[in-house]
Structure formats: structure tokens, C-alpha cells
């Protein structure tokens, strides 16, 4: 029997909204948002969409009107009562009341600030300006909307059974990956795939398949909405935007060189245990660790997010040893460009030396490579970054020069201040 009410209700939707919840976002955005709300409430930033895959002509694929409808829908969202209850009452990383009352009161009243959208050739310029803690919440939904609208432009032309087989193939692929991962003893892996997912429903499917297929080896998802709905752990710590904005705010070179540590000092005051994870590569991992204060060596682990991951892990291990720390008590989280082979390889190399975890992103939640003609559903490298703070440009060096961003003269200044020499370029796939 058809549920008539459901069918009529569905007809009332003006659009099929891609993002339907303010917590359909990565957990670390909320942790960082609270930190910014507390420590840098007056900072003004600009976030900007950057399509590193110029061969994907987003403005040709995506109708501007449809994009505006989706972004406008996101601006209409506010935290639901159940979501608020979950954020206030749930245990995150073993801790209750991770989100303080003043933050939650502000978040409950939040609507996302305006966006600025303009077509430039075959690409879109999409920027967000305003208070850092408000603007930064646009990053994930903006990326998810663009990724999914681009997907819809391809799916719209397909037949019913062709579509079903497309998803059948994608499901089979995910499951075959899970079957490989299943054989890795003591694996610890989480879903980090929100931002470049194929779609919400697909990410939700992948997360549930990982949960069934891997059991306890699947430690959770970065997506808060899915974590809530599926009663899984919400996973994530912090990201490059914190040191990038702190650095942009620095008044001189001395303050600049100190900025990355100031960020972690604030974090240190707020969090403990598994949330004390260093992301060392914003301005070059080597120099960052070399000049780091000793209290940082006491942190729980390091996340490797650019450059050759084995090299990055060995740098961290050597650094811990130099500082008199036992690497076997530490955690290394790999989160850059992972797929099953790389996960298997890194686990084999490092599992005996440190505690190893994986934050698996795009190739978990968007591996549609080769499944349609012209590879039109292959994931691509789209980011949404803080490009300025209080009117000053931000800079990211990364351990991979292909991931660097910022004005050329500022990049040179940062390289000088942080003592970054030659770097090995790695192809950025996703």
C-alpha cells in the first residue's frame, strides 16, 4: 500500500535539499567553532571555494539557480531540539558536556551568514565573510552541495535500472574494500568523508556498511548527523584553519613563528586525551616539531595530512624519541588521500611502532571512479578555505607544495619564518 500522506508530503518540497541539518557537518568543525567562539570571537574571516581540479567546469555542470536554492536552504536551517539535546547530552571522546552552555545557546540561535556567488567562466566564485565562528560552519555544507549537485548533473540523464546498477557497482566496491580491511588485525578506522561525499544518503550507507562489516575496528564517523542517527562515535579534532588564521593575525615575524603553538596552547587548555592530536604540517611538519615546546611532546598523537605519509610518521616518531617520549604510547592518525592499499601498507609498517588510526575520506564516500562514461562522477579536489583574517591573507605551506595556498610573497615570508626548504611534490587526487 502506498502511504498517500507521504507521497503528497514529498510533492510539497520545492527542492530536494542536499544538506538538511546544521550538524550534517564534521565534528571537528564544532570543536573548533567552540574554541574560536571562546578565544577569537571578534575575528573576521573570508572563506572561499577553491576548485583545484580546473578540468571540472562546475559552472557548466551546475545551474546557478539550483545552487542558490540549495545554499538558501542551508541558510534556513537551525539546530533542532533533538540535535541540541544530543550535542549537550552525548558523550564525545569519553567526555560529557563537551560543548559549554554559552556556546550551545549561541549555536541554538545560529543561522548561517550570507554567501556571495558569482560565475567566472566555467567556475563559480563562492565566498563567505563574517565572524570566524559563523563563517567557518559554511565549509562542509558548501562543499557537500557542490559535490552532490555535480553528481546530480550526471545522474539526471540515467535510466532507472542503469542508476540501480551504478549504486550496485559502487556498493560492491565499498564492500570489497571492507573485505580487505577486515583482514587487518587491530585496525582502527573512521569515516572522514563528509566534505567530498557523493551524497548524504551514500555516506550514510557507507558508514553503516563499515559498521556491519568491520565491527569494533570501525571507530566512528566525522559526520555529526550520521553519528547521532546511527548511534556511533563522532570523530575529529582540529584542522589547518586554526593555525592559518592565528598566523594571519600575527603582527610580526616573531608572533608568526609562535602562532601555531599559540593555537595548540588554547587547545591544550580546552581538551585532553585523544583530542590532543597535533596537526603539524600547516607550515611544514619538520620545523614545527623541531621548535615545538616540550609540553606538546606530551600530547597523545599526530595527524599526518600531507606529504609522504610514511616519512611524516617517521618524523613524528623520531621527534617523540628525541623528546624522551615512548612512541608506542602515541597515536598516529593518517588522513590524506587514503585508499585500501595505502591503509594496508601504512598499517603494516607502523602498527608495531605506534598506535595507528585512519581517517578515511573521499575514497570511502565518493569512489565512483570509472563507473560512468568520461569518468564524470570521479571525485575531484574541491576545498573551501579561510583565505583572509581581519583583512590579511592566510597562508598554508603543507608538506606537499601542490597543496600550498596564499599570495606568493606571503608564501615566501612564511617559508623563511618557518625555515621550510625544498619539499617533495605529491599529486593531489582528492
Report the nearest approach of a copy of itself to the CB of residue 158 (Å).
10
Secondary structure class of 126 (helix, strand, coil): strand
Task: Report the interhelical angle of 253-270 vs 241-249 (nearest 10°).
Answer: 140
The CB-of-169 to a copy of itself minimum distance in angstroms stands at 5
Q: Which is nearer to a copy of itself, 17 or 57 (CB)?
A: 17
- State the CB neighbour count (10 A cutoff) for residue 98: 21
Between CA 157 and CA 169, with CA 163 as vertex, the angle to 5 degrees is 130
In angstroms, the CA 33 to CA 126 distance is: 21
168 binds a copy of itself (CB under 8 A): yes
171 binds a copy of itself (CB under 8 A): yes
Work out whether 175 is an interface residue with a copy of itself (CB under 8 A). Answer: yes
Are 429 and 337 contacting, i.e. CB atoms less than 8 angstroms apart? yes
**Closer by beta carbon to a copy of itself, 204 or else 426:** 204
Torsion angle, CA of 71/7/208/84, rounded to 10 degrees? 50
Q: Which residues, 351 to 390, sit near a copy of itself by CB under 8 A? A: none
370 three-state secondary structure: coil
**CA-closest candidate to residue 203, choices 193, 189, 218:** 193
Binding mask 132-161 for a copy of itself (x = CB under 8 A): ---------------------------xxx
Residue 424 C-alpha cell reads as: 617533495
Tell me the site size for a copy of itself, rule CB under 8 A: 22
| Minimum distance of a copy of itself from residue 219's CB (angstroms) | 18
Identify which of residues 7 and 14 has a Cβ nearer to a copy of itself in the complex. 7
Where is 226: in which H helix or E strand? helix 224-230
Identity of the residue, 164 or 329, whose beta carbon is nearer to a copy of itself in the bound complex: 164
On whether the CB atoms of residues 309 and 342 are closer than 8 A, the answer is yes
216 is a contact residue toward a copy of itself (CB under 8 A): no
The C-alpha angle 136, 393, 148, rounded to 5 degrees, equals: 40
**Of 1-9, 21-29, 221-229, 233-241: span binding a copy of itself (CB under 8 A):** 1-9
For cell 611538519, what's the residue? 285
The grid coordinates listed for 341 are 592499499
**Interface positions, 49-108, toward a copy of itself (CB under 8 A):** none
| Matching residue, cell 510533492 | 11
- Please tell me whether residue 393 binds a copy of itself under the rule CB under 8 A: no
229 scored as a contact of a copy of itself (CB under 8 A): no
Give the shortest CB-168-to-a copy of itself separation in angstroms: 4
Q: Applying CB under 8 A, does 14 fall inside the site for a copy of itself?
A: no
Which of 80, 85, 157, 172 binds a copy of itself (CB under 8 A)? It is 172
Residues that bind a copy of itself (CB under 8 A): 1-3, 5-6, 9, 159-162, 164-165, 167-169, 171-172, 175, 208-209, 212-213
Amino acid at each position: 500500500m502506498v502511504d498517500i500522506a507521504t507521497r503528497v508530503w514529498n510533492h510539497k518540497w520545492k527542492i530536494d535539499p542536499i544538506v538538511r541539518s546544521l550538524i550534517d557537518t564534521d565534528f571537528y568543525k564544532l570543536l573548533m567553532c567552540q574554541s574560536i567562539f571562546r578565544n577569537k570571537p571578534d575575528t573576521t574571516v573570508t572563506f572561499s571555494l577553491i576548485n583545484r581540479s580546473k578540468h571540472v567546469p562546475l559552472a557548466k555542470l551546475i545551474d546557478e539557480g539550483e545552487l542558490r536554492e540549495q545554499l538558501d536552504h542551508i541558510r534556513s536551517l537551525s539546530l533542532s531540539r533533538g540535535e541540541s539535546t544530543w550535542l549537550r547530552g552525548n558523550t564525545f571522546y569519553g567526555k560529557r558536556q563537551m560543548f559549554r552552555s554559552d556556546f550551545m545557546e549561541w549555536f541554538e540561535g545560529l543561522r548561517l551568514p550570507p554567501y556571495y556567488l558569482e560565475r567566472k567562466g566555467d567556475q563559480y566564485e563562492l565566498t563567505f565573510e563574517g565572524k570566524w565562528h559563523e563563517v567557518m560552519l559554511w565549509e562542509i555544507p558548501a562543499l557537500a552541495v557542490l559535490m552532490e549537485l555535480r553528481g546530480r548533473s550526471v545522474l539526471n540523464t540515467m535510466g532507472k535500472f542503469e542508476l540501480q546498477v551504478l549504486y550496485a557497482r559502487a556498493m560492491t566496491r565499498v564492500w570489497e574494500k571492507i573485505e580487505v580491511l577486515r583482514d587487518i588485525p587491530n585496525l582502527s578506522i573512521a569515516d572522514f568523508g563528509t566534505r567530498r561525499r557523493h551524497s548524504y544518503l551514500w555516506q550514510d550507507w557507507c558508514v553503516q556498511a563499515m559498521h556491519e562489516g568491520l565491527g569494533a575496528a570501525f571507530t566512528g564517523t566525522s559526520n555529526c548527523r550520521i553519528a547521532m542517527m546511527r548511534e556511533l562515535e563522532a570523530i575529529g579534532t582540529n584542522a589547518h584553519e586554526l593555525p592559518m588564521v592565528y598566523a594571519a593575525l600575527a603582527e610580526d615575524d616573531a608572533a608568526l613563528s609562535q602562532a601555531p603553538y599559540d593555537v595548540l596552547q588554547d587547545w591544550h587548555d580546552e581538551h585532553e586525551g585523544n583530542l590532543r592530536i597535533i596537526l603539524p604540517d600547516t607550515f611544514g611538519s619538520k620545523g614545527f616539531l623541531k621548535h615545538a615546546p616540550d609540553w606538546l611532546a606530551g600530547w597523545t598523537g599526530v595527524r599526518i595530512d600531507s606529504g609522504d605519509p610514511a616519512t611524516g610518521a617517521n618524523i613524528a616518531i623520531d621527534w617523540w624519541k628525541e623528546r624522551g617520549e615512548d612512541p608506542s604510547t602515541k597515536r598516529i592518525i593518517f588522513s590524506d588521500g587514503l585508499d585500501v592499499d595505502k591503509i594496508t601498507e601504512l598499517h603494516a609498517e607502523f602498527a608495531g611502532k605506534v598506535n595507528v588510526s585512519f581517517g578515511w575520506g573521499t575514497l570511502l564516500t565518493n569512489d565512483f571512479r570509472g563507473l560512468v562514461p568520461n569518468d564524470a562522477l570521479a571525485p575531484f579536489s574541491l576545498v573551501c578555505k579561510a583565505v583572509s583574517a581581519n583583512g590579511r591573507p592566510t597562508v598554508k605551506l603543507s608538506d606537499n607544495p601542490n597543496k600550498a595556498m596564499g599570495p606568493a610573497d606571503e608564501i615566501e615570508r612564511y617559508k623563511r619564518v618557518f625555515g621550510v626548504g625544498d619539499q617533495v611534490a605529491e599529486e593531489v587526487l582528492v
